[in-house]
Each structure stands twice: as structure tokens, then as C-alpha cells.
Amino acid sequence: MRLYLDPGHGGNDSGATGNGLLEKDLNLDIALRIRDLLNNNYQNVEVNMSRATDVARTLGQRTNEANAWGADYFLSIHCNAFNGSARGYEDFIHSSLSGNSQTAIYQNIMHEEITRVNQLSNRGKKQQNFHVLRETTMPALLTENGFIDNASDAALMGDPSWRQRVAQGHVNGLARAFNLQGNGGGSDVIYRVIAGSFQARENADARVNFLSSNGIDSFVGTITVSGQPWFRVQTGAFSNRDNAEVRLNEVKSAGISDAFIVQETL
């Protein structure tokens, strides 16, 4: 499957702004997490991005590149804004498409998987005449991941662990829609790289921020030990042990000497 992944805006186009956040930064962060999850955990997937850094690309450049490359799916990542009064998640396909089109079928799957994990109110599946939905020759979806000018949504959007969950929701949808196969040859074992476990959430968040400053994505999950909640920092889940070892070495090189791998049977 060839995915063209499009983080909206960039460069001198910040997109929406609010609560100290810039849409272009959030879009890019979520998209990079989607790319890494796909590359690390699935086989026979190619990902091409309209931008992987903070640069400006025109709408025409994005769609022309996707069309010329022959992408199977165009996925555009955005965040919303509306005077601070609206909140929630919604996604769009082109307004000309019927509900039984292949694009709409993909939208149904993506919407279900994303809203399952994103902790946002569900504003529904919608249609619009957006350029990236109209000018692409393959099925295309544009996701609006919260309202950046709404304080409640923005509190989530500013959290790296939330953005990781949102990225995972997109990936779960892609895996279902395109029947993606794990890169472990059908193994039912997964290797999670753990970069710390803490009883205080703020300590776990500090570890996530430290890893992010070293270019390593991670998020906070909760486990229960002897009846007590612990906040566990995870930086990758792999079906291939060698890939997990590579990530573990990256984490240790950043100075996290107590990182380790957890092997789990799915």
C-alpha cells in the first residue's frame, strides 16, 4: 500500500492558532508519528509525505505529487478552529461521493478507529469540496483532530502522549482498511520498549518531553501493579525483536539507562 501523508499547512502558513499552539506543528507531529508507526510495524507499506519538516507546500504541489507517485490513499492531517466555541473531531471526503463509494467505506473505518481513541467529542463524518479531496485521483480523507482554539481540546492536543494515541488511531484505521500485515511474519508476539515507569504522572510526562527533545517519540500508558497505578513511558511497539533492540539502543544512547523491552503475547 502506498500512502501519501499530508500534514496540512507549514512554513509561513501556520494554519489555525490558539492556546499557544500552531496547527502546522501539531499536524506535522501527528503525521510523523503515523509514518513511524507504519514503517516500524507493518510490511509492504510505502509512505510519502508532502512535508517532513516545517516548509511551505502549495495545495497543487501536494496533490500533483500524490497523483504522479501513484498513491493508493491520500491522508491529510489537520486541526480545526472556530471562535473557541466548537470542539471535537470530524473528517471529510469529497462532496461528490456516494455513501457506498470506496472512499466512503475507507472513511467509515478510519472514523471508527480514530474516534475510538482520541477522547474528543464526535462531530461526525462529513463531505466538502476541499482541493486535496477534489484533485486527488485516489481515495482521500482529511481529518480535523480537535479545535486548537478551544481550551478543552487544546489541553489534549498539547500532550505528546495524546498525539501518539491519535496517530495510532489513524494507523489502526489504515491497517483495517487496507488489510496491512505486521512485519513480524504473522507473529502474535509484540515487543514494547519501555523508557521508565513512574508513580507520579508529571515524572512520566517529563520523561516523554526529554525523549522528544532527543528526537525520540514516546507516550504515557497506565498499568496497575499490586493495585496501584503506574505511569509507563513507551517508545515503540514492534513485532520484530531486532527493531525493538534498535529503538532500545537509541533510548539508552540518549541517557535512559533503565530502559528495557517487554515481550507480550497478543
Q: Rounded distance, CA 153 to CA 26, Å?
A: 13
**Could you give the residue numbers annotated as active site?**
144
What is the CB-side half-sphere exposure of residue 130 using CA atoms within 13 A? 22
- Max CA distance (Å), the chain: 56
Q: Which of 72, 81, 95, 83 is nearest to 8 (CA)?
A: 81
Bridge partners for 80 per DSSP:
147
DSSP 95-155: TT--TTSHHHHHHHHHHHHHHHHS-S-EEEEEEE--HHHHS-SS-EEEEEEEETTSHHHHH
CB count in 10 Å sphere of residue 100: 7
Check: CB of residue 87 under 8 Å from CB of residue 120.
yes
- The residue count of the chain comes to 266
Chain centroid offset of residue 60 CA: 24
User: Hey, which residues does 47 pair with through a beta bridge?
Assistant: 3
Q: Is the dihedral of CA 4, 167, 173, 102 positive or negative?
A: negative
Residue 205: closest CA among 224, 223, 220: 220
